[in-house]
Each structure stands twice: as C-alpha cells, then as structure tokens.
Amino acid sequence: MKAYKYLLIYLIPLLFSIIQTTASFASESLVIYSGRSDKFVKPVIAEFTRQTGIKVILHTGKSTALLNKLKVEGSRTDADLFLSNDAGTLQRGSDWGLFQTMNETLVAPVKATLRAPDNTWVGLSARARVLVVNTNGPWANKNLSVFDLADPSLKGKLGITNSTNGSYIAGVTVYMESVGKKKTLQWLKGMKANVDGHVFNKHSKIVKAVAKGKKQVGLVNHYYIYRHLAKHPDAPIKIVLPDQGKNGMGVAWNVAGIAISKHTKQSSAAEKLVAFLISEKGQKQFAEVNREYPTREGIAAHADVPPAGSYKVAYVPMVELGEHRNETIDLIEQVGMP
C-alpha cells in the first residue's frame, strides 16, 4: 500500500504536467492575413491542423490592403503570418520591415530566386502567365508572344483582368524588365485599344469567355486553364506558352509566398506552419489540388501541367517584382489601363 502511495506522489504531478502540455498545444492557434482565395489555401492548412493540432485562422482579403493593415497595426497586430499571391507585395512588406528573418535551414529547400534574399519571405507555389486560346479560332495555331495581344485584329476579342490585379502588375514588371519601358508602353496602349474598357475581375471568367468563343485569346495564370478543362474536358481551349524560341524572352513567373510577422508571439508555431507548407507533403498538395508549380526542388508539378524546365522562363528574380512595382504602376497609370 505504501508503495502505491509513493507511486501516486510521482505519477500525479507527471500526469498533470502532460495534461497541461497537451492543453497548451491544443490551444495554440495562428492568425494569417491571407491575400489568397480560401479555396487555394484551406486544403493544405486543414492538413497542417490535422497533423499538429495547431488551429489556423484565415483573415482573407486583398494582399495590398492586408499588407497596409499590417503596417498600420504595427506591434498591435493579431497577425502571426502574412500570405500573398504576389512576390512583389511580399517584397514590399520586407522593405517596410514587417517580417522576421527565417532561418536559412528552414527555407533552404526552396530555390534562392523564389524567396527573399534575406529570407524574410519564401515562395510556396509558382505560376506562369500564359495565353488561353480558342482552338476553333484563327489564333489557334500561331506561335504567340504576349506582345501579339496588342495586334489590332484582336479588337473586341481579347480577355485581360483589370490592371489592379496582382498577377497583371507582376507580369507587366517582368515584361518591362525584359524588353524595356518603351516596348511595354506601346503594348499596354495596344491592349487598351483592343479591350475598349471591357476587362474581367477574375481569370476564371476569361477562360470561360474564351471557351464560349466570346473572346479568342486571354492572358491568365496557367492553372485556371487546367481547372476549367478538368470540369469541361471538351472545351475548345488550349494553353499557349508565349515568347519561346531563341529570341523570346520567356514566360513570366510569379510566386505565392508567406512571411512571419515581426510582432508575432507565436514564432515557434509559425515556423512549424512554414516548414509544413514547404515540406514534400505540403508542396504536393499545392501541385495536385491547385495545379500550381511547387517551389521546393525535386517535387513535380501535376501531370497535366507542362513540367518546369520544359519551356523558357523570363529571367527576372522574384525580388525585382517588388523593387520595380512602383515603376510598373506608374507605367500602367500613364496609359490609363482599365
């Protein structure tokens, strides 16, 4: 009996400690200011919570608005992490000093060109700016450049997003850095004439318009085409990778990425989330569910998607999307793009 008494003396504090630790772990939660649509993020976040028990709250909105909110809130912010669909926005946050520097070991699986030079943000998934073309139309079998979108014969037949779209701005930055301001300015003027004020608020709507023959060509992120074809395999559309060949500048790339808030009190849990998102499991989910390109080296894209490395990509490091963002916006505003 005495032995049991002493056993309980040792076991009760131990059990209490375990219960406390478990409760603390279960109560851990992270707040993400997320500039991505929930449907792109929730599947991989749900898997992270399932594996770790750490809850994640998504505050979703426009990347630029959320970044400005993070800046204004300063040390009062509830945000533990910031997630954006655009490297330019991430780099702006880095320039403003809003993010923590992540350990090199943590982000090492991602190529240096797909993260901040000081590791204050890291790319999670990449996308290509491509053309969706109606296969029944006259543009179906042409080797196209994005600059062909200024061709007057496309008047009323071109689909683009409004010029405040993050991918649109990033793409223009890539083209400006690749061929110069003069050519990019003329291209923007030509596209403006072709759309005559009629632009789309979503890439998916451009793909649908091209599939229905209302537009002949659209400028979109690659995965919207594959998502449409997954639901409508007989749709008369195809992807065109523009600006290939010896003299072509290549396809514009951009990344969605994540950063840890400078003022988070949950650094350890935040690092666990980043580690999961760039782990093999996390990266495979981006590839399979979203049809995006994994940023972790060695992880293949979805079988439907042209493999990374199989086509020419414009050499503009992601950090430059932030460094030249204001120049790009000035150029767009100079033209008065809708």
Could you report the per-residue pLDDT of 34-92, keeping only the tens digit for each? 999 898 899 999 999 999 999 999 999 999 999 999 999 999 999 999 999 999 999 99
Measured between its terminal Cα atoms, the distance across the chain in Å is 84
Domains and CATH numbers, the chain: 27-125+255-305 (3.40.190.10), 127-252+323-335 (3.40.190.10)
Q: How many CB atoms lie within 10 A of CB 167?
A: 19
Instruction: Dump the DSSP string for 97-164.
Output: T-BPPPPHHHHTTB-GGGB-TTSS-EEEEEEEEEEEEETTSTTTT----GGGGG-GGGTTTEE-B-TT
**Any idea what DSSP says for residue 310?**
S
With 0-12 / 13-18 / 19 or more C-beta atoms within 10 angstroms meaning exposed / middle / buried, residue 208 is buried
Could you report the per-residue pLDDT of 93-121, keeping only the tens digit for each? 999 999 999 999 999 999 999 999 999 99
Could you report the per-residue pLDDT of 186-208, keeping only the tens digit for each? 999 999 999 999 999 999 999 99
**Please, which pLDDT band fits residue 6 given cuts at 50, 70 and 90?**
very low
- pLDDT for 112 equals 92
- The residue that leads in pLDDT, 244 or 14, is 244
Taking every pair of Cα atoms in the chain, the longest distance, rounded to a whole number of angstroms, is 96
Q: How far apart are CA 32 and CA 269, in angstroms?
A: 12
Say what percent of the chain tops pLDDT 90. Answer: 88
Structure token pair of residue 200: 């789309």
Asked whether residue 12 carries a pLDDT value surpassing 60, the answer given is no
**Please, which pLDDT band fits residue 248 given cuts at 50, 70 and 90?**
very high
Q: How far apart are CA 248 and CA 268, in angstroms?
A: 45
